Amino acid sequence: MANGPAFSLNSLSETTSKPLRLSCSSSSWDRAHGGSEDESAPLSRWRGMGPRPLFSLSAIPSRPLVILLIVTLFACTATGCSFDVCWQLYETAKEHYQFSTPSNEKSTACVPLRTYYNCLKSASNCRGNIKYHSISNVIENQMKGSNCTANGPVYHPIDDQTRPKVHIPDAVCSFNGLKKFRHCGLFGDPHLRTFNNMFQTCKVQGAWPLVNNEYLTVMVTNDPVSHTGGPTATSKLTVLIKQNKECFDEKFLMYQAQTDSLPGVFQDGETVYGKSDSVELFEKVPGEHIEIHIKYIDTIIWVRQIGSYFTFAISIPEEILNSSSSTSEENLDLCVHGCPQRELINYQKFLALKEREIKSYVMPRDEALKVCKEENLTDFYLDSCVFDLMTTGNRNFTVAALAALQDLLKLTPDIAKTEKQRKDIDIYDKLYNISTAIRTTNMHSFRNILLAVMVCIFARLHVV
């Protein structure tokens, strides 16, 4: 590459923040000097014979790029040479890399420059054009100053079609509050973790609201998992995002999933809505996992289908939750208020009972506990897994418990740090004093029998 000082294309003018495009029009000179040629300038004082020279040496500015600008005026009469497309490609490449995430910072500068350089080299009909060579030298020096190589990746317009769009966030449709989040999750038979960290196992058969505030509503429908009644699981889920005129035009957005159908789109077939993609749906694993992002309230909803049933998880800012949720006792939002008392199942007492005291079970407690511990489940998620295996034997519920725990860790890691990492359920035996009572009763019975036998033996020996 040619030697010379490294200077920016954008330094062609100090009077404008917009990069100057080299052109043969008079406006190029005007933008570089803040106005048109004045009669009082040195060019107007020519008093010799013959035609006035195009410029006076005394009028030439000392800056190299302005000299380059003047030199390009000589090339205005050249024909058959057009490389404006190279400048346009350079500008587009700059904009593209400004709002993308390149593999390294060097790509942001080098790819647009290299694109411009290669475009100029391909303009074979401009080799005799002074302007062409001048601009080429500028680009070469700029590349050298930025430590860019001539060989490497270049920008292609098709890149804008294949790469995900990156939007500048809209101030109105972006959440600017405190980044303190609450979590709610529903999974399994079903097991509920509320926004206030209540842990419950519920019946709640039929349709129930999980979340219902001024921004969105989430409804679930639960069906029995066995003919004996009792535990249920989520077979249908509906998310209704209410109208926000400032961020999207639709009156509402609806997402609906039911057994064997987890769509990758909203009900109208779309996935993105509003300014700066205010609402967006991502299909992470087709038929298995989707995410809904509501940016103006910084809320994320995850829905998974595992076997025939769904898991649900939501992360929402605390201030949004507090300002939009109803505190009325008549409000049945499960994530806010928990399950009604009549719908609760005492899973802790169930886990403490021995098999002979349970009316019906599918898998013994020890076996269920072993399976769940192998998945590294802890705390409430361990309890839920054991409960589900004992009542149904369906190992998909083990996967559901693991997914619910992982969703908690990813969506709200700060809350996850408060977990106790408990890996057994003996705590419930002690809580209900069931195992101790059974062991004590059995021990007393054994001692009484042993004493009776010894008395009989002693009596016979005494008679003899």
More confident residue, 84 or 224: 224
Question: Is 80 exceeded by the pLDDT of residue 33?
Answer: no
Angle between helices 130-145 and 64-72 (to 10 degrees): 150
More confident residue, 47 or 81: 81
Q: Where are the beta strands (DSSP E) in 136-278?
A: 181-187, 191-193, 199-202, 206-212, 216-224, 232-242, 252-258, 272-273
Taking residues 192-196, report their average pLDDT. Answer: 97
Q: In what order do the strands lie in the sheet with 279-285?
A: 272-273, 279-285, 289-294, 299-306, 309-317, 181-187, 191-193, 199-202, 344-345
Rg (CA), the chain: 37
* Helix, strand counts (H, E) of the chain: 15, 13
Among 85-94, 188-197, 268-277, 448-457, the range scoring the smallest mean pLDDT is 448-457
Among 163-172, 187-196, 294-303, 315-324, the range scoring the smallest mean pLDDT is 163-172
For residue 117, what pLDDT is reported? Answer: 86
More confident residue, 460 or 142: 142
Averaging pLDDT over each range in 30-34, 402-406, 443-447, which range is the top one? Answer: 402-406
146's CB contacts (< 8 A; 6+ apart) are 6, 106, 109, 110, 113
Would you say how long the chain is, in residues? 464
In DSSP terms, 306 is beta-bridged to 309
* Alpha carbons 428 and 108: distance in angstroms, whole number: 59
Structure tokens belonging to residue 30: 């005007």
Residue 364 φ then ψ, to 5°: -60, 150
For residue 130, what pLDDT is reported? Answer: 79
Confidence of residue 276 (pLDDT cuts 50, 70, 90): confident
Structure confidence by residue, pLDDT tens digits, 218-229: 999 999 987 666
Taking residues 438-454, report their average pLDDT. Answer: 62
For residue 235, what pLDDT is reported? Answer: 96
For residue 145, what pLDDT is reported? Answer: 85
For residue 41, what pLDDT is reported? Answer: 41
Confidence of residue 211 (pLDDT cuts 50, 70, 90): very high
* Alpha carbons 172 and 174: distance in angstroms, whole number: 6
For residue 264, what pLDDT is reported? Answer: 97
* Alpha carbons 168 and 156: distance in angstroms, whole number: 22
For residue 319, what pLDDT is reported? Answer: 92
For residue 27, what pLDDT is reported? Answer: 39
366's CB contacts (< 8 A; 6+ apart) are none
* Alpha carbons 365 and 428: distance in angstroms, whole number: 13
* Alpha carbons 37 and 43: distance in angstroms, whole number: 9
Count CB atoms within 10 A of the CB of residue 128: 11
In DSSP terms, 219 is beta-bridged to 209, 238
> Which 8-state DSSP code applies to residue 310?
E
322's CB contacts (< 8 A; 6+ apart) are none
For residue 227, what pLDDT is reported? Answer: 64
Residue 269 zone, left/alpha/beta (φ > 0; ψ -120 to 50; rest): left
Among 104-108, 214-218, 293-297, 391-395, the range scoring the smallest mean pLDDT is 104-108
pTM: 0.59
Structure confidence by residue, pLDDT tens digits, 347-377: 999 998 866 667 678 899 999 999 999 999 9
Question: Is 90 exceeded by the pLDDT of residue 83?
Answer: no
Structure confidence by residue, pLDDT tens digits, 229-261: 678 999 999 999 999 988 988 999 999 999 999
Question: Is 80 exceeded by the pLDDT of residue 208?
Answer: yes
Structure tokens belonging to residue 340: 């009604």
User: Quick one: which H or E segment has residue 314?
Assistant: strand 309-317
Angle between helices 26-33 and 64-72 (to 10 degrees): 160
| Residue 390: C-alpha distances to residues 11, 243, 352, 372, 438 (Å) | 74, 44, 12, 11, 21
Structure confidence by residue, pLDDT tens digits, 144-186: 888 888 888 888 775 554 444 444 455 678 888 888 999 999 9
More confident residue, 13 or 437: 437
Confidence of residue 434 (pLDDT cuts 50, 70, 90): low
* Alpha carbons 217 and 211: distance in angstroms, whole number: 5
Among 39-43, 214-218, 275-279, the range scoring the smallest mean pLDDT is 39-43
Question: Is 90 exceeded by the pLDDT of residue 196?
Answer: yes
> Which 8-state DSSP code applies to residue 138?
H
Share in percent of the chain as helix, strand, coil (round to 5): 45, 20, 40
* Alpha carbons 153 and 156: distance in angstroms, whole number: 9
